[in-house]
Amino acid sequence: MRLGPKSTTLLVLAALIALTPVFFPSSFYYRVGSLIFINGLAVTGMVILIGYAGQISLGHAGFAGIGAYSCALMPVHWGVPVLLAAVLGALISAALAWLVGRPILRLKGYYLAVATLGFGILVYMVLMNEAWLTGGPDGTAVPDSGLRDMAKAIGINLKNSEFWYWFCGIVLTIGAWLALNLHDSPTGRALRALHGSEIAARTVGVDVAKYKLQAFVISAVYASVAGSLVALQNQFVTPDIAGYMHSIEWVTMTVLGGAGSVLGAIFGAGILTLLPQVLTRFAEYEQLLLGLIMMLVMIFMRDGLLPQVLRLIRGKDQ
Amino acid sequence: MTLRNLMTTAAALSALAAPALADINIGASISETGPAAFLGDPEAKTLRMEVEKINAEGGINGEKINLIIYDDGGDANKAKTFATRLVEDDEVVAVIGGTTTGTTMAMVPVFEDAEIPFISLAGAVDIIEPVKTFTFKTPHTDRMACEKIFADMKAQGFTKVGMISGSDGFGKSMQAQCKGVAEASGVEIVADEVYGPQDADMTPQLTNIKGSGAQAILNSGMGQGPAVVTRNHKQLAIEAPLYQSHGVASKQFIELAGAQAAEGVRLPAAALLVADQLPDDDAQKPVVIAYRDAYQAATGEDVSTFGGHAHDALAILKAAIERADSTDPVAIRDQIEATKDFVGTAGNVTYSPEDHLGLTLDAFKMLVIKDGDWTIAQ
């Protein structure tokens, strides 16, 4: 039986998630794994925006902030169940993305990058300054989601870090599956067409503004869910989550791994999440090394790390 | 495949870093870089210096300390990851750190779950209230600073206070605490102004306070904001005296504000800043002078109260491990809680099951700036 590229990607991803714990020397690595999956989820959304639609956002951490603080604030202030709060957070993120994106995505060029940059900083400032609601810079606690207890009730008794490893892994797999399906759907084809050439896409009847907006809203939902997962896992959240550097990190992960490929981008997320852990002894040089890697990838591997490596491996029989 | 390789590389690296079995592993997650670096940097330097000294003197109960410091950059999510790493991977027996309230609060559940004693270096009262079994802290709280300042104001006959606060974490937290204890302290807040930590001019806020009939002004904030407030206070020739918080307790503040503008500013701070001026019979005097001289010799930098908090945390921990005569985290925790009359740079520490801060208002000295230097207020 020959598998299509979509099934192969999903199988590789699921196998990696399922098998890597065999090599974990301690349960700390479950924690790192779950962070990779969370970043991977946000980055999968970025693939839809950057890789499929060819747009850039420098403020996606703002949506993560909305997702995270929804889980923290709604249950406390309005008695909303935590999981429902995550869903509502995603809806709010989608609505905000629609409001921000609708006027801007009618324009050509890099206006979205600038507008999202401003949006991300706005969210961050609100979280920092409205201390009566958000707890300000010191952060705020997130109520227990009860997910682990639910797992316990059906006989799955896991340590905290292990539970979140598997939960985030499953969410990431679902996210990747949706993104891969989108790739081959009419919407995905329209997105890739307008990425190639907006004029050509418009000529064949693609509503460019509408599809760009769709991609932006979908990626905002991914970022929001990623933010909610961070909040639920940590049970504590500070405004850092919406910080400008997180937005940049996600763009970097996407481009590093390969913006056009879901697996590549998740791979990029994996590298950049692991790097600070491996380099704790050289913490001062972390940024330096990161910049260097980025430059080298941009100069020598413009499609990103994973697609280029795969091409090198396959090179001979093509 | 490559992901797995990276994982095993990471594992191999941490295995390389693993110490000989007999060592006592003590962990720390400090914000050496990022916005809180001015706190975290002296903390980390102090820990490294003190551990070197303890090991040179033969360690604790004959065993060397293996200090594992991670830099969380002030990011709560990173701090939580490092906390997990310290517990699961490095198998530490106790942890010092959490430079900021945010990073500390993110780490607390990890150590409470794993039953590892944790001594925080952050300010907010939320860390130890309500009391958490395994969590302690060494710095004074901002509530204590408010009480100390208000007591000093009242002693001088001022009951109407104008507040001006930075909108950063420190300023906001202290603003809320001061407003909370104002009534109990017998003073009234007649003005409540806020500025951004990067603002270059606070004259509008100070003019409002001037017009509010305030008899004294309290500035809660740290970094460059208080220096600007101090300069503007002088420029506007406001008669109501200016009080700063313990957040400005470093020489840099006087340099930034200028000795002339800072003249007469009052603030609560730990004895460390006025080590030489302490009376000879003060139990703190030898402790703070020894730490100050050692720190300045080791780093060539001026000592700050922030590094002092790390010094105290390590000293409390060392004494607890010695008394416990074991490296069992729970035994160490019990001995930390049993700490009694420990003399540190922050004051006299006596922990109890109900009090994981252990300091009283006496720990603060009221200082007044004279001729560009700190003096103890009479």
Count, residues in chain B: 378
Give one DSSP letter per residue of B224-253, joined into a string.
THHHHHHHHHHHTT--SPEEE-GGG-SHHH
The pLDDT of B132-140, averaged and rounded, is 93
pLDDT-above-70 percentage for chain B: 94
Amino acid letter at B335? Q
- Residue in this structure with the two tokens 């930590």, named with its chain if needed: B197
Closest by CA position to B177, among listed B135, B149, B209, B213: B149
Number of domains in chain A: 1
B 78-117 residues inside an 8 A Cβ radius of A: 78, 80-81, 84-85, 87-89, 100-102, 105-106, 109, 113
pLDDT for the residue B8: 54
Q: Residue ranges of the domains in chain B? A: 24-140+286-363, 142-269
- Contact yes or no for A274 and B105 at CB 8 A: no
Residues sharing a CB contact under 8 Å with residue A113, sequence separation 6 or more, in sequence order: A56, A57, A58
- Contact yes or no for B81 and A31 at CB 8 A: yes
- Contact yes or no for B88 and A28 at CB 8 A: yes
- The pLDDT tens digits of the residues spanning A289-298 come to 878 888 888 8
In three-state secondary structure terms, B237 is coil
CATH topology match: B24-140+286-363 vs B142-269:
yes
Query: Do the interacting molecules here have an ipTM over 0.90?
Result: no
Is residue B142 less than 8 Å (CB to CB) from chain A?
no
Q: Give dist(CA B306, CA B293) in Å, integer.
A: 15
In three-state secondary structure terms, B73 is coil
Ranges A142-156, B105-119, B181-195: which has the least confidence: A142-156
Q: How far is CA B79 from CA A165, B350, B357, in A?
A: 18, 28, 22
- The pLDDT tens digits of the residues spanning A267-307 come to 999 988 988 888 777 767 777 887 888 888 888 887 888 88
Residue A49 burial (CB count, 10 A)? 29
Q: Give dist(CA B313, CA B340) in Å, integer.
A: 14
In three-state secondary structure terms, B137 is strand
Q: Are B137 and B165 in contact (CB under 8 A)?
A: no
pLDDT for the residue A149: 85
Residues sharing a CB contact under 8 Å with residue B235, sequence separation 6 or more, in sequence order: B203, B261
The pLDDT of A125-132, averaged and rounded, is 87
Candidates A11, A240, A256, partner chain B, best to mutate (most B CBs within 10 A): A240
pLDDT for the residue A1: 54
In a domain, A282, yes or no: no
Residues sharing a CB contact under 8 Å with residue A148, sequence separation 6 or more, in sequence order: A158, A160, A163
Q: State the Cα angle at B297 between B296 and B300, rounded to 5°.
A: 55
- The pLDDT tens digits of the residues spanning A223-282 come to 999 999 999 999 999 998 999 888 988 998 998 888 888 998 999 999 889 888 887 777
Which domain, by its residues, includes A140? 28-247
pLDDT for the residue A196: 85
Distance, in angstroms, between A143 CA and closest chain B CA? 12
In three-state secondary structure terms, A279 is coil
- Contact yes or no for A277 and B85 at CB 8 A: yes
- Count chain A–chain B contacts defined by CB atoms under 8 A: 114
Answer yes or no: CATH 3.90.1640.10 is held by domain B24-140+286-363: no
- Contact yes or no for B113 and A160 at CB 8 A: yes
pLDDT for the residue A318: 42
Cβ neighbours of A27 in B, within 8 Å: 88
The pair of structure tokens assigned to B184 is 């109990």
Closest by CA position to A13, among listed A47, A42, A36, A46: A36
Q: Which residues on neighbouring strands pair with residue B375, listed in sequence order?
A: B368
pLDDT for the residue A312: 81
Longest dimension (CA), chain A: 63
Closest by CA position to B124, among listed B21, B284, B35, B247: B247
Q: Are A274 and B147 in contact (CB under 8 A)?
A: no
In a domain, A314, yes or no: no
Q: Are B247 and B174 in contact (CB under 8 A)?
A: yes
The pLDDT of B183-199, averaged and rounded, is 90
Q: Are B106 and A235 in contact (CB under 8 A)?
A: no
pLDDT-above-90 percentage for chain B: 60
Cβ neighbours of A229 in B, within 8 Å: none
Alpha-carbon Rg for chain A, nearest whole angstrom, is: 19
One-letter-per-residue 3-state SS of B192-220: EEEECCCCCCCHHHHHHHHHCCCCEEEEE
Residue A104 pLDDT more than 90?
no
pLDDT for the residue B4: 52
- The pLDDT tens digits of the residues spanning A28-70 come to 899 999 999 999 999 999 999 998 988 889 999 999 999 999 9
Is the backbone peptide bond immediately before A186 cis, with ω within 30 degrees of 0? no
Cβ neighbours of A19 in B, within 8 Å: 4
Residue A218 pLDDT more than 90?
yes
Closest by CA position to A215, among listed A56, A59, A67: A56
Amino acid letter at B45? K
Q: Which residues on neighbouring strands pair with residue B355, listed in sequence order?
A: B352
Q: Are A241 and A134 in contact (CB under 8 A)?
A: no
The pLDDT of B254-266, averaged and rounded, is 91
Query: Of the spans A48-57, B42-51, B55-64, which averages the highest pLDDT?
Result: B42-51
Residue A315 pLDDT more than 80?
no
The pair of structure tokens assigned to A272 is 């950049």
Q: Give dist(CA A76, CA B237) in Å, integer.
A: 46
In the predicted model, what is the mean pLDDT of chain B?
Answer: 88
In a domain, A306, yes or no: no
Answer yes or no: CATH 3.40.309.10 is held by domain B142-269: no
pLDDT band at B1 (very low <50, low <70, confident <90, very high): very low
